[in-house]
Copies of this chain bind each other. A is one copy, B any other.
Amino acid sequence: MIELAPHNKQGLAVGAPLIAGSGAVGFGDAWPPGVTPAHFGAIVTTPISRTPVRGAPQPRLVELPGGFLLTTGVHNPGYRRVLREHAPNWTKLGVPVLVALAGSTPEDWPDLAARLEDQEGVAGIELSIGETADLTDVRATLRAARRATTLPLLVKLPVTWAEPLAEECAAAEADALVIGIPPTAAYPAADGALVHGAVAGPIALPFTLRALRAVVALGLGLPVVAAGGICCVEDARLCLETGATAIQVRSLLWTNPAAVARLAGGLEC
């Protein structure tokens, strides 16, 4: 077992270093062919908000050299419906489920964290900080979220300024870091409209690696989970050798489900 929340009373022990990143399997209800909960040490849900969010209009997706941009605008049915419709299933998956909270409404984190506190089937919470967030705001929000829950708290950081944020997370007693959210870009879709969002796919890995190495070098004593652009066993090994405790994959489940089983198998020892 790998402990992802060593300083948390409750802890977050996972049976494998491979984690299905935020939204990779939706709310645990969208499994690609051949991919099962048994491939993962944990899964992270699509980010939820307090109220339902319609999300972004089309175009939402555009391909880039080496990857793509996708923006959903935190499209989600709101926490009430998610908990009603999906949480009953989480206890049956046989793998810890972490609930991601939408980065666009950090003011709702304490309230949502408190509501998840006693929800059966919730093993932890993943927060994510925007590339353009204000450091002072982040400090306050993280502390409020921490006070609101005893659940393991993972914080996903934008790779472009992960280092100062990582120190804030440690100070705020977050349990683990996820590195991270790739840099934001914009590219025209077929109709000419610009799609905005973080880059994804193989293109993301070099950004992940830079930030991962920098954050690991800070020696904060928190487990660091690598995310972004991991597509094969070699990519995963590189992250683990650079100091990651676990890794998240996401778009790989969408573009090549068969590669997920190979990756999971390749990380078993």
Contacts and interface: CB of A to CB of B under 8 A. Distances in A.
A227 to B, nearest CB: 15
Given A131-B160, A203-B64, A209 B194 contact: yes
Interface string A177-209: 000000111111000001010010111011101
A207 B188 contact: no
Nearest to A64: B206
A94 B213 CA distance: 46
A210 interface: yes
Q: How many copies does the complex hold?
A: 2
A131 B214 CA distance: 14
Contact of A213 (B194, B206, B207): B194
Majority-rule SS of A interface residues = mixed
A265 interface: no
Given A188-B238, A199-B206, A209-B187, A67 B64 contact: no
A183 B186 contact: no
Contacts of A186: 206, 209-210, 213
A66 interface: yes
A69 interface: yes
Contact of A64 (B66, B131, B187): B66
Interface string A63-82: 01111010000000000000
Interface in A143-164: 159-161
A34 to B, nearest CB: 25
B187 A205 contact: yes
Contacts of A206: 64, 69, 185-187, 199
Contacts of A238: 188
Contacts of A64: 66, 203, 206
A228 to B, nearest CB: 11
Interface of A: 64-67, 69, 131, 159-161, 183-188, 194, 196, 199, 201-203, 205-207, 209-210, 213, 238
The 3 A-B pairs at the shortest CB distance, nearest first, are namely A65-B66, A185-B206, A66-B66
Given A65-B202, A186-B213, 16 more contacts: A65-B65, A65-B201, A66-B203, A69-B206, A131-B160, A159-B183, A160-B183, A183-B207, A184-B207, A185-B210, A186-B206, A186-B210, A187-B205, A196-B210, A199-B206, A203-B203
